[in-house]
Amino acid sequence: MSAALLIEQLLNGLQLGVMLFLIAAGLTLIFGVMGLINLAHGSLYMIGAFACAAVAAATGSFWLGLAASLAAAAAAGALMEIAIIRRLYERDHLDQVLATFALILILSEGTRWLFGSFPLYLDIPPILQGAVPLPGGGQYQLYRLAIIGVGIVVAVGLYLLISRTRLGMRIRAGESDREMIAALGVDIRTLYTVVFALGAALAGLAGAMVGALQSVQVGMGEPALILAFVVIVIGGIGSIKGALVGAILVGVVDTMGRFLLPKLLALTMPASQANLVGAALASMLIYIVMALILALRPRGLFAGQA
Amino acid sequence: MALSRETLISALLVALLVAIPLLATAAGEPFYVTLATRIAILALAAVGLNIALGLGGLVSFGHAAFFGLGGYVAGIFATHAFNAEPLPFGFTATTAMPVIWLGAMALCGLAALPIGAISLRTSGVYFIMITLAFAQMIYYFAVSWPSYGGEDGLSIYVRNSFPGLNTAQPLPYFLLCLGVLVAGLVLFQLIKGSRFGAALEASRQNPTRLAAVGITPFGIRLVAFAVSAMVTGLAGALFADLNRFVSPSMLSWHMSGELIVLIILGGKGRLFGPVAGAMVYVLFEYALGGVTERWQFFLGLILLGVVLFARGGLLGLLAGKARHG
Amino acid sequence: MRTILTASLLALSMTAAGVAQADPVKIGVITTLSGGGAGLGVDTRDAFTLAIKKAGETDVELVIEDDAQKPELAVQIAEKMIQSDKVDLMTGIIWSNLAMAVVPNTVAQDVIYLSPNAGPSALAGANCHKNYFNVAYQNDNFHEAMGQYANQDYKNTFILAPNYPAGKDSLTGFKRYYKGELAGELYTQVGQTDYAAEIAQIRASGADSVFFFLPGGMGIAFMKQYAQSGVGLPVLGPSFSFSQDVLPAIGDAALGVKNSASWSKDLDNEANKEFVEAFQAEYGRLPSIYAAQSWDTANLILSALAKASVKDKDAFRAALREADFKSVRGEFTFNANQHPIQNIYVREVVKEGDVLTNKIIGTAFEKHGDAYVEQCKM
């Protein structure tokens, strides 16, 4: 095993983590501000991917598709918030789980109704094709580096938004004391709609970018949703910083587990068996890590006020 | 008044659940017996979850783990007995359901203790997610472990037996499952009315006060979690025998989600909530599936309607005010 | 009796005349019509109904239901079809794990099941059954063909598949015929969508080719990421990841990939031309291999119906075993375990105008059976 391969795998883990961060950021933001468990977050991710693929196919431009994914997911999010989600803030988590579970069913089948049963095509834009050389002799794909870049920009952007802007101030106020900011005359209903749409747009952005790497199909949101939940729970629900750390931890652990576990086990057992057992362990690894972290820190790594 | 109305409606539900299979058998339509059996088993699984969720406020998003483990006990016993092989740890394989049920409950209880002990350190959404994490571990283990079929699952070629009953026939098997469901409901009611139940209720509403009188909520919750897991595991064993098949999909997070849905749909914490929920859910799934391939879309709309407009679930809607406490 | 039935199938007027034996034949079709895997089920259903329609068959009644790719739901539907609809025959299931859930109990209740796609090894060997007919393939077949084909050009192949029974069967099947070295062997997670870690290992392994089996969305994701990574080694695989239903989603990344199948749209025989034309005319898209297998299943049933009553199980099974129908795959016969003996072809992904599709470039096996037939005591 060369150093170049190791570096490449670490980058792969980082990139997977950044991708998870983009999905998880919206989820944790929505939970932190509104106290809402949104199982339909994965559906917003799917909507982003479908919007990007459809617009890119019609216009030939990935970038127009990317814009469309942001718009479609934000619009779908705002619509959902106004029509349904708004009625759930005062309910307990169970009602939220049931309602958003129902939304998954509706959005999945609705998407299939619109786009048909076959997966859609979406490729990475020409300008981001190809690879760049790495120190140590390896090379790394440009598009994946771009995803890491987008993740960093979003993380910094969210940090600035929340700590430096009026909207951010209201979000922070909303997290700590709901009645108070309503009393201060802030229109809390609009604030919630804006936050929900922002979270949805982030999910849509992630869906569009991932869609170029994977298959754009109905049901793609569910595995992403589960991983996003793992991430925000590890990080501490409601904490953007926690989501970032949790996402990168999950990305790196998952990638390195798939890469290294079979090799480690091969030292103690025959290679073909090590492959099987290693793969089985690797698929359980992030959940084991999550259980360990929660056993030691029951409110995640960076517990918010939630 | 509200209570008696709930009792009335509950009685009606049970009467319906018993009457339909009897009528169907008389009419030579055994499939409806199978459908009713499915309702009874899913209701039992949800009754199990309701002990943790409804009484103890412990929202487990991982109860599919116990449902599936129970199913695998039935499947593994049947397979070993069919092939006349001994079980691991020196147990003898048998197709006798009482033994299998005990095995399923013992395994689920044993699994629930460490899972519960770790999970109960957390609360709220963290509890929801850590139970999911444990279920996912078991799910991936089952998918990739080759001995018992992995993702392909395990077929039970002949339904396991119960002394004095022909379980291969739909009606006797339904009555057996109904009997177990009733036992589960009685257990739920006993727990609810007992001092343990009162302490569990208190641990949900006011853990600090409970601690002040010298009871640790942790122990009570852990016991409730384990009992809940055992009941759900028993339902899993019955479910595997109903389908004559067990596979990792019984362990998937969808299954955990469905169990929660059954409870909320029927009415959380109510004795007959899971029964009402299971009836409505299974019947809608069946009826809509026959009408349109878009059935999941309409099922979603119905669930959404219930949660938005029928607070307290269907029983809450029908029986009026939410229960006290 | 036989003449009466044949006559009633040929002419609707006979049923109108009230021949007692001419009950309509009821066929239950359980397939996946919702969720991520719906495309395969839709092709299966569409080809099946079209074949029945083309034959002008009015005495065949279809009961079609969606299993949502859930084994428990498939079991429930199967029970309903047997007990309530009282179907004579069943077919339609796409996935091995659903077939394993449904088939053993269906055939035990003396209902004949014809598999249009899945062929798990468990049902081909010791647990074969007189009521179970596989019209598609045994699961190992296409992988074996790729192993055989790889011997021509490659000596150091990297192989990967998901970590579940069909994945293990796949790599076992490949290795059964492949004689070269393995540059690496990997099992991936079921439902995995990111393959960067695996592709990095392929790049570092010094392999001269890659063989993979990743059905559904997994294969689309792998192929796109593999092409984007620029590793550029030749790719081999079974046809599932290069079938007409997924090719548009992979795009040009699939061009040039060699894949194995029992059927291709350019296979030169009358039945196939008729099928491809009819399917395209009716649905406005090219048929996939799932459509082809389902079309064959329907025609096999029709051929048997012309010879025997479906109520006379022994005669009907015998008629099915003769496989006296015009298969779109050319020559088709049943093995002792009622699995196909057929040619397995190697195809290459090409572009015809704007449309990605496959063309046959060789034959890996002629009249190929499966490795489990010996274990079947029927």
Residue-wise pLDDT tens digits, C209-226: 999 999 888 999 999 999
Chain A neighbors of C245, CB-CB under 8 A: 118
Interchain pair C105, B250: CB under 8 A: no
Measured CA to CA, the distance from residue C280 to residue B216 in angstroms comes to: 70
State whether C35 and A108 contact (CB < 8 Å).
yes
Alpha helices (H) in A116-220, listed in sequence order: 142-164, 166-176, 178-183, 188-211
DSSP string for B278-318: HHHHHHHHHHHHHH-TTHHHHHHHHHHHHHHH-TTHHHHHH
What was the pLDDT predicted at A304?
56
Confidence of residue C13 (pLDDT cuts 50, 70, 90): very low
Q: Is B152 on the interface with C (CB under 8 A)?
A: yes
B238 touches chain C (CB under 8 A): no
Instruction: Return the pLDDT at B312.
Output: 74
Radius of gyration of chain B (CA): 19
Does pLDDT of C113 surpass 90?
yes
Q: Which of A105, A106, A298 sits opposite B122 (nearest CB)?
A: A298
Instruction: Give the best residue of B243, B251, B282 to mutate against chain C (max C CB count within 10 A).
Output: B243
Residue A134: is its pLDDT beyond 90? no
Cα(C318)–Cα(C305) distance, rounded to whole angstroms? 11
> Two tokens at A22?
């983009």
Instruction: Give the closest-approach CA distance of B284 to chain A in angstroms.
Output: 14
- The whole-number pLDDT of residue C90 equals 97
The answer to whether the Cβ–Cβ distance between C201 and A5 falls below 8 Å is: yes
Check: CB of residue A43 under 8 Å from CB of residue A108.
yes
User: Rounded to 5 degrees, what are φ and ψ at B299?
Assistant: -60, -40
Q: What pLDDT was estimated at residue B125?
A: 85
B30 Cα to chain A: minimum distance (Å): 30
Residue among B59, B130, B145 minimizing CB distance to A294: B130
Q: Which tokens go with A78?
A: 């705002």
- Does the structure show a pLDDT above 50 at C5? no
Whether residue C311 is predicted with pLDDT greater than 80 in this model: the reply is yes
* Contact between B144 and A283 using a beta-carbon 8 Å cutoff: yes
> Whole-model pTM?
0.88
For A303, the closest chain B residue by CA position comes to B126
**What number is the average pLDDT over the span C149-165?**
93
Please name the residue of chain A whose CA is at the shortest distance from the CA of residue B130: A291
> Best of C193, C244, C245, C247 to disrupt the A interface by mutation (most A CBs within 10 Å)?
C193
Contacts of B186-193 with C-beta under 8 Å, sequence gap 24+, read B187/B227, B187/B231, B188/B47, B188/B50, B188/B51, B188/B55, B188/B271, B189/B271, B191/B51, B191/B55, B191/B224, B191/B227, B192/B55, B192/B271
Q: Assign C362 a pLDDT band (cuts: 50, 70, 90).
A: very high
Under DSSP, the state recorded for B94 is -
Is residue C11 over pLDDT 60? Answer: no
- List, for residues A94-123, the tens digit of each pLDDT value: 888 889 999 999 999 999 889 988 889 999
Query: Tell me, what's the pLDDT at C282?
Result: 95
Asked whether residue C322 carries a pLDDT value surpassing 90, the answer given is yes
Say if B35 is an interface residue toward chain C (CB within 8 Å).
yes
Say if residue B49 is exposed, middle or buried (CB neighbours under 10 Å; 0-12, 13-18, 19+): buried
- Chain C partners within 8 Å of A13 (Cβ): 197
Return d(Cα B266, Cα B270) in angstroms, integer: 8
CB C137, CB C332: distance < 8 Å: no
Percent over 90 (pLDDT), chain C: 76
Cα gap A93→A306, rounded to integer Å: 13
Chain B: list its partners (3+ Cβ pairs within 8 Å): A, C
- Look at B121 and A294 and tell me if their CB atoms are within 8 Å: yes
pLDDT-derived band at C22, boundaries 50, 70, 90: low
Give the residue carrying structure tokens 């929340």.
A162
Q: Which residues of A are less than 8 Å from C194 in CB distance?
A: 12, 16, 19, 213-214
Candidates B152, B238, B250: best to mutate against C (most CBs of C within 10 A) is B152
| Average pLDDT value over all residues in chain C | 90
Q: Give the CA radius of gyration of chain A.
A: 20
pLDDT in tens, chain B (325 residues): 445 777 888 888 889 888 989 998 888 888 899 999 999 999 999 999 999 999 999 999 999 999 999 999 999 999 888 887 878 777 778 889 999 999 999 999 999 999 999 999 888 888 998 999 999 999 999 988 878 888 888 888 888 999 988 888 889 999 999 999 999 999 999 999 999 999 998 888 877 777 777 778 899 999 999 999 999 999 999 999 999 999 999 999 989 999 999 998 888 878 899 999 999 899 888 888 777 778 889 989 988 998 888 777 777 777 765 444 3
Among B44, B28, B2, B291, residue whose Cα is nearest residue B178: B44
Tell me which residue in C35, C201, C228 faces A259 most closely, judged by beta carbons. Answer: C201
Q: How many residues does chain C have?
A: 378
Q: How confident is the model at residue A242 (pLDDT cuts 50, 70, 90)?
A: very high
Whether B262 and chain A come into contact, CB under 8 Å, resolves to no
Query: Shortest CA distance to C345 belongs to which of C239, C246, C274?
Result: C239
For residue A133, the model assigns a pLDDT of: 84
Angstrom distances, CA of residue A165 to CA of A162, A169, A172:
6, 6, 11
CA distance C262 to C357: 15
pLDDT at C236: 95
Q: Is the pLDDT of residue C355 over 80?
A: yes
Q: In one letter, which amino acid is B17?
A: L
Closest by Cα among C61, C92, C44, C47 to C281: C47
Q: Residues near C58 by Cβ (< 8 Å), separated by ≥ 6?
A: C12
Residue A124 near residue A214, CB atoms below 8 Å: no
Strands (E), chain B: 154-155, 245-246
Average pLDDT over residues C292-314: 94
* B143 inside 8 A of chain C by CB: yes
Instruction: Find chain A residues with C-beta within 8 A of C35's C-beta.
Output: 108, 112, 218-219
- C249: nearest CA in chain A? A121
Residues of B in contact with C65 (CB under 8 A): 289-290
CA distance to partner chain C, nearest, from residue A118 (Å): 5
Residue of B33, B52, B183 whose CA lies nearest to B128: B52
Query: Closest residue of A to B298, CA-based?
Result: A106
pLDDT of residue B325: 37
- Can you tell me the distance from the alpha carbon of A166 to that of A168, in angstroms, rounded to the nearest whole number? 5
Over pLDDT 70: what percentage of chain A? 96
Give ipTM to 2 decimals: 0.87
Which of C190, C200, C217, B140 has the alpha carbon at shortest distance from A286? B140
The partner residue sitting opposite A106, judged by closest CB among B136, B261, B300, is: B300
Contact list in A for residue C185 (CB cut-off 8 A) is: 271-272, 275
Q: How far is B142 from chain C (nearest CA, A)?
A: 9
Instruction: Please check the confidence at residue C261 and state whether its pLDDT lies above 80.
Output: yes
Q: Does B129 touch chain A (CB under 8 A)?
A: yes
Residue with tokens 């011997």: C151
pLDDT for the residue numbered C4: 40
Closest residue, chain A, to B253 (C-alpha): A226
B-chain residues near C83 (CB < 8 A):
29-31, 34, 170
Other chains touching A, judged by 3 or more CB pairs under 8 Å: B, C
Tokens standing for residue C271: 């039945």
